[in-house]
Amino acid sequence: MSLITRRRLITAGVATAAGATGLGVAASLSRRYGLVPPDCKGVYGPGETLTYGVRQMLGRNAMAREFERSMISEKPFANEIAPPTKAFKEMQARGFVDWRLTVDGMVEHPMTLSLADLKSMPVHSQITEVSCEEGWSYIAEWIGTPLSNVLNAAVLKPGVKFIYYHAVEPYLWETIDVDEAMHPQTFLTMGMNDGDLPVGFGGPLRLRVPRQLGYKSLKFVTHITAVDSVKNIGKGLGSVDPEYGYSWFAGI
């Protein structure tokens, strides 16, 4: 649907809301056009809903800023050491040849991909910034294949609304909406600054979501699931972040 049509619908929804029975109509219209985030309830709910709704209406296709090569940070700050598990270290010792990414859920063709499979897809690069919610940031070149290539190969079934992804650490998971998942800058990243993606930065495989804060760019990604709702995942808030007071939608 075009932006104009969507805007008209919203205007119509808001105008209807002015009427006595309109609130419910406005709410259901907003939900229908994907303007309501999963963490829309609670103290911060109205703010989250406003931020996300505006982004969805005006910036669904906006691009994250890309930088010149000369702007790449000399000493990027890795916020995470390798997952300290024996299994991870063994895979690392074997050069991650047995690392697998599982793609399942509401897809026509569930699949399990190796790093070699991913590298055989069209590979692109972007020079973008990682910004942590705690205030620091750095710029790096990220090399990988857009997540859309994998999702298009798996073929999303009608009704998919979110992509749910896990890190190798079982307690770390995130979701993004389908717009973010299909955005050309959302990359399954295997390389950084002309080399393999170092483990400290999420190697061998990290989902870079450059339009959102660093915590959406999960490192050590092993599993991607297409879903139509986040209600039954964790506390139903869309990711672990809102459970700790951070926004599900972390647009920058």
Ligand X SMILES: Nc1nc2c(c(=O)[nH]1)N[C@H]1C(S)=C(S)[C@@H](COP(=O)(O)O)O[C@H]1N2
- CB closer to Mo ion, 151 vs 241: 241
132 binds ligand X (CB under 6 A): yes
Pairing of strands 221-227, 100-105: parallel
**Which candidate, 147, 151, 146, places its Cα nearest to that of 107?**
151
By the rule CB under 6 A, 52 interacts with ligand X: no
Q: Does 167 bind ligand X (CB under 6 A)?
A: yes
Residue 167 interacting entry, from Mo ion, ligand X, none, C-beta within 5 to 8 Å by type: ligand X
Q: Are 197 and 189 in contact (CB under 8 A)?
A: yes
CA distance 52 to 35: 6
172 binds Mo ion (CB under 5 A): no
> If binding is defined by CB under 6 A, does position 151 make contact with ligand X?
no
From candidates 128, 145, 186, 217, binder to ligand X by CB under 6 A = 217
Q: Which of the residues 69 through 128 are near ligand X (CB under 6 A)? A: 77-80
Select from Mo ion, ligand X, none the partner in contact with residue 172, using the beta carbon and a kind-dependent cut-off of 5 to 8 Å. ligand X
Please count the residues of this chain forming the interface with ligand X, following the rule CB under 6 A: 16
Stretch that binds Mo ion, among 115-123, 125-133, 144-152, 233-241 (CB under 5 A): 125-133
What is the Cβ-side half-sphere exposure of residue 204, based on CA atoms within 13 angstroms? 20
List CB contacts of 175: < 8 A, sequence separation 6 or more.
Answer: 38, 162, 163, 164, 165, 227, 230, 233, 238, 239, 248
| 218 interacts with ligand X by CB under 6 A | yes
Count of other CB atoms within 10 angstroms of residue 209: 27
202 touching Mo ion, by CB under 5 A: no
> Among 2-10, 57-65, 128-136, 201-209, which window interacts with Mo ion (CB under 5 A)?
128-136
34 counts as binding Mo ion under rule CB under 5 A: no
Give the interface segment with ligand X, choosing from 39-47, 87-95, 120-128, 212-220 (CB under 6 A): 212-220
Among 142, 215, 248, 249, binds ligand X (CB under 6 A): 215
Interaction partner, residue 209 (Mo ion, ligand X, none; CB < 5-8 Å by kind): none
Task: Answer yes or no whether residue 249 interacts with ligand X by CB under 6 A.
Answer: no
Q: Which residues bind ligand X (CB under 6 A)?
A: 77-80, 130, 132, 167, 169, 172, 201, 214-215, 217-220
Q: Which residues bind Mo ion (CB under 5 A)?
A: 132-133, 214-215
